[in-house]
Amino acid sequence: MRLLITGGAGFIGARLVRSLLAQGQLAGKPIGEIVIADQFAPPADLAQHPKVKALTGPLLAQCEGFSKTSFDGVFHLASAVSGECEADFDLGLRSNLDSTRALLDALRHGGHGPRVVFSSSIAVYGPDPAHPLPAVVDDDTLPCPQTSYGTHKLMCELMVADYTRKGYIDGRSARLMTVSVRPGKPNGAASSFFSGIIREPLAGVEAVCPVDAQVGHPVSSPGKTIEGLIRVFEAEREAYQGRSAMNLAGINITVAEMLAALEEVAGPKVRARVRFERDENIARIVDNWPKAAHSPRAARLGLKSDASYADIIRQYIADCRASGLADTALKGLS
């Protein structure tokens, strides 16, 4: 089968491509080609892989060409992040709404009705005076997004459902929990610190936490996130249940608990590299996000959350070692 992964050069995208190449098949069918569409070139291991074809450039400009290619499956991960969308309203509309619309239209005009997984976000949820957020959001919670990013994600979920209803695609939307621990550098997402406060201390670098230690949030490891995307792709329609978006699994944790887990795994010296300095912009965005989530639909698909946050940190450390990055990424451990 031929797959398209938008945002396939990003952290989650590249990791998904590696998982797919490693398993060699998807939904029981051998994978012949993976097309990565991303504004950046993919990492070298993927760029050089014989089964990978990389298309580099803005997604919006690439979409017309997609209608001429027969894709069997699509993972649509490309997205501007929350902070970028708040800073540049037009960029958000273009990158998240217009690009998704163009992608869906290209797949529709392609006429092959490919299976499509759209990566949505827990950021669709937010409190509104008429609809306060419950203590724990679940698949039934009414989403009232409080950022442009969350707004566009929810609008795209609705398009995916309607293009699916019409038979143009076989789409399903999976709402990702905040992914932690992301490697690399901080990005423009307001949630970036949920990785930074673990990653930087492990690298021996001081980290600033912009919100209070009591802030709670549902998070998921990269591995569990990718497992969720693949499971949602492979699910039969009946098992997925209808066409509305579903939440992936996550663990509900506070910043204080994350730091306690860091100390448990890496010791008090590493933990001490995190200091608190409130950033009102970020704190305001995060304050409007769910404090915890429960994901009964994901559970029915057999998706489990990570066992513990300490486990997530240990996975991150193992990943750094496996990819030869220990010298810098884990410098703070020695």
* Closer by beta carbon to a second copy, 144 or else 215: 144
The stretch among 139-147, 221-229, 275-283, 303-311 that binds a second copy (CB under 8 A) is 139-147
Q: How far apart are CA 201 and CA 198, in angstroms?
A: 6
Smallest distance from a second copy to CB 238, Å: 8
Task: Choose which of 129, 236, 322, 324 interacts with a second copy (CB under 8 A).
Answer: 129
Task: Using CA atoms of 58, 59, 65, 66 in order, give the dihedral in degrees to the nearest 10.
Answer: 160
Q: Phi/psi of residue 200, each to 5°?
A: -65, -50
Task: Choose which of 297, 303, 306, 330 interacts with a second copy (CB under 8 A).
Answer: 297
* Closer by beta carbon to a second copy, 155 or else 208: 155
Q: Does 234 bind a second copy (CB under 8 A)?
A: no
Task: Choose which of 21, 47, 136, 155 interacts with a second copy (CB under 8 A).
Answer: 155
- 8 Å CB contact between 293 and 137: yes
Q: Does 83 bind a second copy (CB under 8 A)?
A: no
Q: How far apart are CA 37 and CA 53, in angstroms?
A: 9
Smallest distance from a second copy to CB 179, Å: 24
Q: Does 89 bind a second copy (CB under 8 A)?
A: yes
Q: Does 141 bind a second copy (CB under 8 A)?
A: yes
Q: Does 140 bind a second copy (CB under 8 A)?
A: yes
* Closer by beta carbon to a second copy, 2 or else 243: 243
Q: What SS3 string covers 39-62?
A: CCCCCHHHHCCCCEEEEECCHHHH
Tokens of 22: 């490693």
Catalytic residues: 149
Q: Does 246 bind a second copy (CB under 8 A)?
A: yes
* Closer by beta carbon to a second copy, 125 or else 194: 125
> How many residues line the site for a second copy (CB under 8 A)?
31
CA angle at residue 69 from 248 to 151, to 5 degrees? 35
Q: How far apart are CA 195 and CA 294, in angstroms?
A: 21
Q: Does 146 bind a second copy (CB under 8 A)?
A: yes
Nearest residue to 223 via CA among 139, 303, 148, 107: 303
Count of helices and strands (H, E) across the chain: 16, 14
Rg value, the chain, Cα: 19
Q: Does 106 bind a second copy (CB under 8 A)?
A: no
Q: Does 242 bind a second copy (CB under 8 A)?
A: yes
Contact pattern from residue 10 through residue 49 relative to a second copy, giving x for each residue in contact according to CB under 8 A and a dash for the rest: ----------------------------------------
- 8 Å CB contact between 95 and 25: no
Q: Does 165 bind a second copy (CB under 8 A)?
A: yes
Q: Which run of H or E residues covers position 29?
A: strand 29-30
Task: Choose which of 142, 205, 299, 318 interacts with a second copy (CB under 8 A).
Answer: 142
Q: Phi/psi of residue 74, each to 5°?
A: -135, 135
Token pair 């098949």 is found at: 25
Q: Does 151 bind a second copy (CB under 8 A)?
A: yes
- In the complex, the residues that contact a second copy under the rule CB under 8 A are 89, 93, 101, 128-131, 139-142, 144-146, 148, 151, 154-155, 158-159, 161-162, 165-166, 238, 241-244, 246, 297
